[in-house]
Structure 1
Amino acid sequence: MISFKALPSAASTAEYFSKDNYYTLGQAQELSAWTGRAAEDLGLAGRVDEKVFAALLEGKLPNGVQIAASQGKHRAGVDITFAASKSVSLLALIGGDERIVVAMQESVQAALTWVEKNVMEARIWDPVLGEQVPEKTGNLVAATFLHDVSRNNDPQLHVHSIVANATRASDGKWRAMTNKAFYEAQHIISAVQNAELRTRIEALGYETTPAKNPIDGAFEVQGVSREVVEAFSSRRLEILAALAKSGRGSAAERQIVTLNTRKDKDLTLDPEQRNLGWHETARSLGFDPAPLINQARERAGRDQTVWTRIVDGIRGIGAKGMAIAAAMGITPGDGDPLVPERLGRLDPVSYAAAQAVASAARELGENEAAFSRHDLIRTALERQGPFTVSHIEARIDQLTRGGQLIGREQMLTSEQALAMESRVIDLAEAGKGAIEPIATGVQVGARLQAAARELGLRRLNPGQERAGVAILTSRDRVHLIQGGAGVGKSAALAPVAAIARAEGHQVIALAHVGRMAREFGAKVNAPASTVDGFLRKYERVIDGTAYPVKMEAARQALSGTLIMVDEASQIGTDRFARLIELANKMEVAGLVFAGDKGQLPAIERGRPFADLQREDVARSAITENLRAKTPQMQAINKAIEEGDIAGAFEALRPTTSTVPLGKAAETAATMWANLPRDEREQTVLLASGRAMRTAGNAATQRALLAKGELGVAKASLKVLDRITITKEGARQLKGYQDGRLVEFTTNLPKAGFARGEIGEVVNVADGKVELVMEGGEVRSFDPSRLPRNLKHDAVTIYEQKQITIHEGDRIRWTAKDEARELFNGDMAHVKRIDGDSIIVRTANGDEHQLFGKDPMRDRFDLAYAINVHIAQGITAKAGIVMMSSLERLLNSSRAFVVAATRIAETIHLVVDDPNKVEKQVERNPGDKTSAREVAKPTSETDKKAEKKDFEKERDYAKELKKHLGIDKMTEARSRDWDMGL
């Protein structure tokens, strides 16, 4: 694994590394070295001189150049710490296998060489764009220090790589480097070094196995037991104990606990005395590394590795490649477009690399139409085959040259993703001019206003009326309604549905999740369904395999129907295509997609709702915000509409509470719990992600207990928290960690599992997952054998989470039970707990008694706090939003927009570092990249034209605001949209 740390002042950094130990294997010599092309250019080689090192960290180069300081302060650089896994450290430092130390140093050097070529950047002037832009420099200067001990004096082989803040740009000038690229590449750098070290360890004769949590290809050496590993991992046990005490365990929370429990290194302990202590501990555990090391040396002497043994006795290049792929947990499929070569054309290692890249592209491609080259490399390396990054990069380059992968330097997509996006556009265009208008005449607008009055709605504003008229009078089957949060899209569609019914058309309401679908159906007075349920019902009609009688029944049910889809931005390309294809086949009277391209996109790949708005597809815009009721909320929504994140945070400032790191959830929960009960019911508690939501729920429950508002009776339960994993990811071992539950969601007769069966993971070994089933039987299965061609997941993986519920607690279902009308995402309250019986009351007043083995007993969670994905589509009078600078990847513009625009009157932000979070939100749009966008070639002329277009649009908006005022500007924008400008 690796860790990143921006270095403090040059003086304190140099002093730290001069005092810290550089001893390894009892050798009393400083193990340090200069590395990098820039180091060579500066004449730096061999051991690191402390004075030169200190000067370099201050920006003073040996050639006399002084790196320019930014804002009067020079950043020293970045400390990238590469740490070997515990089993590797034990064999090197207790077992005395010096070959491992060399392998560690070589793997770090290989990783830094990769970083130098692919990550190192400086900012230079771009005359085309007229601004500073990042440039790959291909050179770095780094000082490496080999260490052998952790802060808790446990054996820990690791290398500090201090990358100085200096690099030479293409213009020959020495400049400061950009840190952003380093932090973005953290996971791939880790994967590169893990692969380099693992292949070297295997070449030394050892067998490796994926680590318990094999992120970035982390591994352990077989033969070193888990008991021994944990006995020499006191630091990890300290962190876990602190997490258990606080009832937390997210990545962000682990980071806080790691810092809070961190000790200074004890530099007084004699290395020889420390080594004696290590050996004594090993003896007490019965751990003797000598036989394992001797066996490895013997294998290495015969040039034997785990991979040569796998193919021993197998004839044929193709068969050997398939055997290696199977050992990696990959089952090659016939006709894989990313492995077009005939079997036997690739040597076994190249074949393994090809299968790893294809598997990685499938996994990434389930959620993203386009993905970064770095993510593809990292995910392929996680397959842990007999290859390193050079093999994977060569394969990606080969596929790019052959056209199987398409894209620019850093972003790639597949032929299949590009074809699917083009298909959505073709299907939408096939419906142009294909229908008769639902309503005709010059009085359609008046009819809409009359229908709105009859429904008890307020008068439709101009944008709502124009959208309704466009839908009812259109001859195009597909129509898009674009509108930001709170503009009344569903209110505009209610009178449209009423008129459609009056004209003899059935109306169907669809949405991404059940709760939204039911609410949308109630608003437009139409039968409702989830998109998935609707598509599942007509699956054979769409793919053409339905019997003629079923096809005719579907046509009678759907022909002439107006189908409305709410929150359309959350629907991915595949489902979008199937909806339009079904609509065209069944000749529906209209297919309306309503949503906001600025809010959260679909979890699965693609952004078809946004992409279709760039095409010649019928669309309308609704712009006037109806939700914001107070000057503050109006200012926030106005800033968001104009893309002014800083302005939105400024409007939030009067109601922003700044709290210590890690205290956002507790503070927000207390704030919510202290509200009067009637205000509480109208106030939503919002979190960015799962970890903050869990912390917020626990803190709220504690606050309500302290106030005496929850009952004494309680029940301690293990509930199931679903792990988000792709279908391809479920075919890899990394998702199957000890203690997790695996539910089989399809029948697997060959493997001996039936749909609905659940087992707990107790061991992962030799490519197999061992499960203890509900009856106590131990069974195993091979994830790589899970079927690929299913439209749904073959298995669902859950983390078991211990929660305590009290009488009065608010809960949220995490699964559905259609028979009892309990749906995923719906709220309920715990009415009574009586021994093994839990009685819950749903929002509609129904009561249900959950006994011991009731399947819904472990399918709920506390529901005081919700995250933004659940919140999209709801409206609340007031809201408390909790955010943390530690949730950097979750702090996106889209997530912030959803959180901030749910609220009508009063919003309160609770955050540990408002300035830092604001910058994170500004820098992370949370966008998806389309395949067509990546496939489009980009030139310097294109970049310049795009910049001019942006500036022109910005200046146009300023002029409108200046001369017309904000209300007229909004109206003008809406008019321009309708005109296609």
Structure 2
Amino acid sequence: MIHVNAVTSGAGTVEYLTQDNYYTSDQALDSSEWLGKGAAALGLSGSVDKDMFAAVIEGKLPDGSEIQGKDGVRRFGDELHFSVSKSVSLLALVGGDKRLIEAFTESAKVALKWAEKNVVEARVWDKELGTAVPERTGNLLVASFLHDVNRNLEPHLHIHAVGINATQTADGKWRAVHNPEFYRAQHAMSAVHNSEMRARVEALGYETVPAREAVDGAFEIRGVSREVIEAFSTRRAEVVAEAAKDGRSSARELELAALATRKGKEMDPDIAGQKERWQETAKRVGFDHKPLIDKALARSSAEQTVWTRLVAGIRGIGAKGMAIASAIGLTPKDKDPLVPERLGRLEPKAFAAAQAVASAARELGEREAAFSRNDLIRHSLERQGPFTVEAIEARIEQLQQRGLLIGSGPADRDRMLTTQQAVAMENKVVALALAGKDSVEPIAERDGVVARLQEQARAIGLRRLNQGQEKAGADILTSRDRIHLVQGGAGVGKSAALAPVAAIAREEGRNVVALSHVGRIAREFGEKTAAPASTVDGFLARYARVLGGSASAERVAEAREELSGALVMVDEASQIGTDRLARLIDLANQMHVGRLVLAGDIKQLPAIEAGKPFAQLQGQDLGRSDIAENLRAQTPQMQALNRALGDGDIDQAFKELKAATTEVAPGEIPKTAANIWVDLPKDQRDSTVLLAAGRAMRSAGNAEAQKALAARGELGANSIRLDVLDRVTITREGARQLKGYHEGRVVAFQTNLPSQKFQRGERGEVVDVSDGKVELHMGDGELRTLDPSRLPANLKHDAVTIFERKSIGLHEQDRIRWTAKDGERGLLNGDIAHVERIDGGKVTIKAGDGKLHELPQGDSMLERLDLAYAINVHVAQGMTAKDGIIMMSERERALNSTASFLVAVTRIAEHATLVTDNPDRVQRQVETRTGEKTSAMDVSQAKTKSPDHYPGFKEDLQKLSDKLGPEYAMAVLQNRERDITLEKPASRSGISRSQDELARDRERDLERARDLERGR
């Protein structure tokens, strides 16, 4: 595992890392080393000299060069903290197998060399653009220190690799490192290190298994039990417990918890006594390391590994490759477009690498049509086969040369990749849409259509349609094209504009259908338009056989009667991915639908699945209507916020929010927001929504709101404790790996698996994960084994759904939402309801329509609900609230995007409040990450262009530069879609930030992690 952190104190880091190194040797400097091509260029090698380390970390290099800071402030560098699994540390330090220490140090060097080639950059002046741009330099200056215990003096091999803030550019000059790439590539570097380390451990004769949390390919050595690992992991338990106090669990949050709970360093440790205590602990938990080490030594002497033993006795290259693929949980598919070679053409290990890349591309491709080269490398290595990064990169390059993977630039600098199939699917959507040009009759004549629209609006009880709504309605009714797009921001009244259109279509004898991506929005859309409603998935399922060509002639005739000439309207169309929209348009063409209206907003949250087809179709020769006038914003504050967001001016939006922003300490956001909400008068509270970007903040907000209401006596006396199911987000390809199956999770089967003896509707709880298999405790008490690698790979739906159990207390009067649907009772996923009564194990729920539903103990819907005082922005898209309290934390940087912020703000009609732990940093995160998707065609069309010189790049740069300053503007354009936070942004006025501002930011960080200034 690798964590990257900024070095915040040069002197403190020097003192900390050059002190005694506990047990590995008498002095830390004996376990230190200069690494990197940058060090070689400066003549630095061997052990790290303390004085030289102190000089270079201050930017003073041996050749006389000096790295200057900006505005009197300079970065010292970035620390790459390498660590190994606990089982490796135990066998090396308790068991005494020193070979593992060498394997660790050598694998770290490989990872650093990979970073040199693929990550490290400096900024050099570009005369054409008039600003500095990144240059890949290929050299690092690293001071590396090996340590071997944690703060609790437990075995813990780790390396502090301090990347000095200096790299040599092509012109021979030494410049500061442009470090955002380090943070973006952190997981890829970690996967490179883990795969290299695992290969070396296996070469030493050990067998490995995926770690309990197999992030980035983390592994353990087989034979070291979980009980043993936990006995030597009290430090880990302390960190997790500290983080859990605030409901934190991300890697960054665990880092901060580690810093907050860190003990002072023992300056004169009792080495002999500590080693005796390790042996006592090993004896207590039954850890006998000698047989494991002896077996490993014997295997390595015979040059045996787990992989050579696996294929021993198997004849044929193809059969050996299949055996290895099966062992790492991969099921090769016939005619896999990313593995076109005939079985037996690739050597077994090369075959396994090819299958790993294909599997990783499928997994990434379910969510994004285009993905980064580093993400593909990381996910491929997570398959944990007999390959390292060298084999994976060779395979990626081979697929690019064949045109099966398409990149946005030269192979060694690709930022984005896509597949031939993704490009073909996006082209298919466009072709299907264009096939409907001039192919249908108008629904109504143009003469008098505007008057009819306004008349119908009055009849329905709507306000007079504005110019944009009026034009959109007329365009839809009079067009001869099958596909019509309606683009409009949040709150402009798109669905209201479609209501009179639907009424006129019915007058003209047309069937009308209302669709959306989720049931709640579809139902509300249907109510507004007085049309039968369905989700897009439900609609496609109804006509699946017709679309697939397997329906009977009678069923096809019935479908054509229902759909021919019909008006089919889709709300929130931006949230529909490429595959689903392709099928919807294909069905519309086949069944001669009279009009397919796609209404949405390209600035709001896109589809969860791959693609952004609604945005792509807006660039084609298709009918499109724009509705611009905001009808939702009712106050000067909200009108100003909507104007700023409409102009893409995030800076101005945060200025408008400043007076309504409450800044709190880390971890206090949910409690503060809940108290603000509870303090409102009840009628105002009922019309105010608590909004969160992610599920962790949402859950914490719900718990705090419930606690505050209970303290005020506003909840009923009766309560019940429920174990509810919280869905784990995982792709279909990801479900075929082991990483989603943790002990205690629930696996529900969505399809029949006769070969594994599972039926649709069954479910079981995970009790063990080992040897590539998952042991499930089924509802009937039987233990059954699931092989995830054998799950179908070609389904359009999930073969299994994985849930995490979550315990919640439910009180009378609590507000809840459903997390699944019950069609028979009319309960839809996302619907809000209230707890009317709790009587023993029976819960009576009052639904949004006023109906009462009694849910006895054991009712399946008692597992599929959650508190609903706070909701996340994905659920909120499409809804309206009078007032809103937005919860945003700098800790959730991957969730803080322009799109999610826009959706949160634009839900609100009258007053918005922001509660945050760092408004400046949250703003920078929102500015940096747009939340937009990259399409396959974007990558394909950019393959011959520099990613920094796309059409309109200069105009974008100038626009941002006027507001933010050129350096930060360039960084924003180049780092959008990256999970990073830029360290030195411009001030809000466009002038470089002062030393005082930078110092305040640094002080804030130091407060959060008390002794961060001493380094790790």
Please state which band the TM-score falls in when normalised by the shorter chain: over 0.9
Q: 1:602 to 1:396 in 2, by over 3 A?
A: same
**2: CA distance between counterparts of 1:650 and 1:956?**
17
Amino acid at match of 2:384: Q
Cα deviation, residue 25, structure 1 = 6.7
Q: 1:597 to 1:72 in 2, by over 3 A?
A: same
Q: Deviations over 1:918-949 (max 9, x none)?
A: 00000011111000010013435992742355
Q: Which residue of 1 aligns with 2:575?
A: 570
Q: Which residue of 1 aligns with 2:100?
A: 100
**1: CA distance between counterparts of 2:243 and 2:924?**
29
Q: 1:250 to 1:62 in 2, by over 3 A?
A: closer
**2: CA distance between counterparts of 1:449 and 1:853?**
52
Q: 1:757 to 1:309 in 2, by over 3 A?
A: same
**2: CA distance between counterparts of 1:491 and 1:262?**
57
The answer on whether the counterparts of 1:120 and 1:140 sit within 8 Å (CA) in structure 2 is yes
**2: CA distance between counterparts of 1:550 and 1:931?**
36
Q: Which residue of 2 aligns with 1:872?
A: 877
Cα deviation, residue 536, structure 1 = 0.4
Aligned residue-pair number: 957
Q: Which residue of 2 aligns with 1:178?
A: 178
Cα deviation, residue 950, structure 1 = 4.4
Q: Which residue of 1 aligns with 2:995?
A: none
**1: CA distance between counterparts of 2:167 and 2:290?**
45
Unaligned runs of at least 5 residues, structure 1: 958-981
Deviating more after overlay: 894-903 vs 253-262? 253-262
Amino acid at match of 1:407: G
Q: Which residue among 639, 646, 660 is the counterpart of 2:644? A: 639
Does residue 947 of structure 1 match 2:957? Answer: no
Q: Which residue of 2 aligns with 1:263?
A: 263
Amino acid at match of 1:32: S
Q: 1:696 to 1:252 in 2, by over 3 A?
A: farther
**2: CA distance between counterparts of 1:243 and 1:104?**
29
Amino acid at match of 2:145: F
**Which aligned runs of 4 or more in structure 1 are off by greater than 6 angstroms?**
25-29, 951-957
Tell me, what secondary structure is at the counterpart of 2:756? coil
**1: CA distance between counterparts of 2:543 and 2:664?**
52
Tell me, what secondary structure is at the counterpart of 1:647? helix
Tell me, what secondary structure is at the counterpart of 1:772? strand
Q: Deviations over 1:545-574 (max 9, x none)?
A: 211111010000111100000000000001
**2: CA distance between counterparts of 1:111 and 1:941?**
26
**1: CA distance between counterparts of 2:81 and 2:319?**
40
Q: 1:254 to 1:776 in 2, by over 3 A?
A: farther
Tell me, what secondary structure is at the counterpart of 2:625? strand
Q: Which residue of 2 aligns with 1:80?
A: 80
The answer on whether the counterparts of 1:128 and 1:944 sit within 8 Å (CA) in structure 2 is no
5 Å matches for 1:440-479? Answer: 440-479=445-484
Tell me, what secondary structure is at the counterpart of 1:47? coil
**2: CA distance between counterparts of 1:497 and 1:606?**
29
Cα deviation, residue 371, structure 1 = 0.6
Cα deviation, residue 272, structure 1 = 2.3
Q: Which residue of 2 aligns with 1:745?
A: 750
Amino acid at match of 2:11: A
Does residue 830 of structure 1 match 2:809? Answer: no
Q: Which residue of 2 aligns with 1:589?
A: 594
Q: Which residue of 1 aligns with 2:38?
A: 38
Cα deviation, residue 375, structure 1 = 0.5
Does residue 677 of structure 1 match 2:679? Answer: no
**2: CA distance between counterparts of 1:93 and 1:864?**
50
**1: CA distance between counterparts of 2:782 and 2:105?**
46
Tell me, what secondary structure is at the counterpart of 2:890? coil
Q: Which residue of 2 aligns with 1:140?
A: 140
Q: Which residue of 2 aligns with 1:62?
A: 62
Tell me, what secondary structure is at the counterpart of 1:235? helix
Q: Deviations over 1:240-288 (max 9, x none)?
A: 3345566665656545543432323323322222222111111122212
Q: Which residue of 2 aligns with 1:388?
A: 388
Deviating more after overlay: 144-153 vs 838-847? 838-847
Q: Which residue of 2 aligns with 1:625?
A: 630
Cα deviation, residue 19, structure 1 = 2.5
Q: Deviations over 1:826-852 (max 9, x none)?
A: 111112222221221111122222222
Tell me, what secondary structure is at the counterpart of 1:554? helix
Does residue 197 of structure 1 match 2:197? Answer: yes
Tell me, what secondary structure is at the counterpart of 2:755? coil
Q: Which residue of 2 aligns with 1:961?
A: none
Q: Deviations over 1:627-680 (max 9, x none)?
A: 111111111111101110011001000000000011111100111111111001
Amino acid at match of 1:831: E
Q: Which residue of 1 aligns with 2:310?
A: 310
The answer on whether the counterparts of 1:813 and 1:823 sit within 8 Å (CA) in structure 2 is yes
Cα deviation, residue 825, structure 1 = 0.7
Q: Which residue of 2 aligns with 1:694?
A: 699
Deviating more after overlay: 935-944 vs 215-224? 935-944
Amino acid at match of 1:882: M
Does residue 882 of structure 1 match 2:887? Answer: yes
The answer on whether the counterparts of 1:248 and 1:695 sit within 8 Å (CA) in structure 2 is no
Q: Which residue of 1 aligns with 2:222?
A: 222
Larger RCO of the pair (alpha carbons < 8 Å, separation 6+)? 2
Q: Which residue of 2 aligns with 1:364?
A: 364
Q: 1:120 to 1:246 in 2, by over 3 A?
A: closer
Q: 1:82 to 1:951 in 2, by over 3 A?
A: closer
Amino acid at match of 1:532: D
**1: CA distance between counterparts of 2:486 and 2:430?**
16
Does residue 235 of structure 1 match 2:228? Answer: no
**2: CA distance between counterparts of 1:284 and 1:226?**
14
**2: CA distance between counterparts of 1:941 and 1:478?**
32
Q: Which residue of 2 aligns with 1:613?
A: 618
Q: Which residue of 1 aligns with 2:536?
A: 531
The answer on whether the counterparts of 1:639 and 1:645 sit within 8 Å (CA) in structure 2 is yes
Tell me, what secondary structure is at the counterpart of 2:80? strand
Cα deviation, residue 952, structure 1 = 9.4
The answer on whether the counterparts of 1:22 and 1:31 sit within 8 Å (CA) in structure 2 is no
Q: 1:941 to 1:758 in 2, by over 3 A?
A: closer
Amino acid at match of 1:59: G
Amino acid at match of 1:263: K
**2: CA distance between counterparts of 1:905 and 1:502?**
37
Q: Which residue of 2 aligns with 1:703?
A: 708
**2: CA distance between counterparts of 1:269 and 1:948?**
60
Cα deviation, residue 744, structure 1 = 0.6
Q: Deviations over 1:762-813 (max 9, x none)?
A: 1111111001111221110100001112211110000111111111111111
Q: Deviations over 1:660-707 (max 9, x none)?
A: 011111100111111111001110100010110011011111111111
TM-score (norm 1): 0.96
TM-score (norm 2): 0.92
Q: Which residue of 2 aligns with 1:966?
A: none
The answer on whether the counterparts of 2:29 and 2:47 sit within 8 Å (CA) in structure 1 is no
**1: CA distance between counterparts of 2:310 and 2:530?**
63
Amino acid at match of 2:949: K
**2: CA distance between counterparts of 1:29 and 1:272?**
21
Q: Deviations over 1:838-867 (max 9, x none)?
A: 221111122222222211111111111000
**2: CA distance between counterparts of 1:914 and 1:245?**
23
Q: Which residue of 2 aligns with 1:716?
A: 721
Q: Which residue among 498, 510, 514 is the counterpart of 1:505? A: 510
Unaligned runs of at least 5 residues, structure 2: 409-413, 964-1016
The answer on whether the counterparts of 1:25 and 1:96 sit within 8 Å (CA) in structure 2 is no
Amino acid at match of 2:320: K
Amino acid at match of 1:823: L
Tell me, what secondary structure is at the counterpart of 2:609? coil
Does residue 334 of structure 1 match 2:340? Answer: no
Deviating more after overlay: 783-792 vs 846-855? 846-855
The answer on whether the counterparts of 2:17 and 2:28 sit within 8 Å (CA) in structure 1 is no
**1: CA distance between counterparts of 2:35 and 2:259?**
30
The answer on whether the counterparts of 2:18 and 2:28 sit within 8 Å (CA) in structure 1 is no
Q: Which residue of 2 aligns with 1:274?
A: 274
**2: CA distance between counterparts of 1:403 and 1:144?**
40
Q: Which residue of 2 aligns with 1:930?
A: 935
Tell me, what secondary structure is at the counterpart of 2:91? helix
The CA RMSD measured in Å over matched residues stands at: 1.7
Amino acid at match of 1:350: A
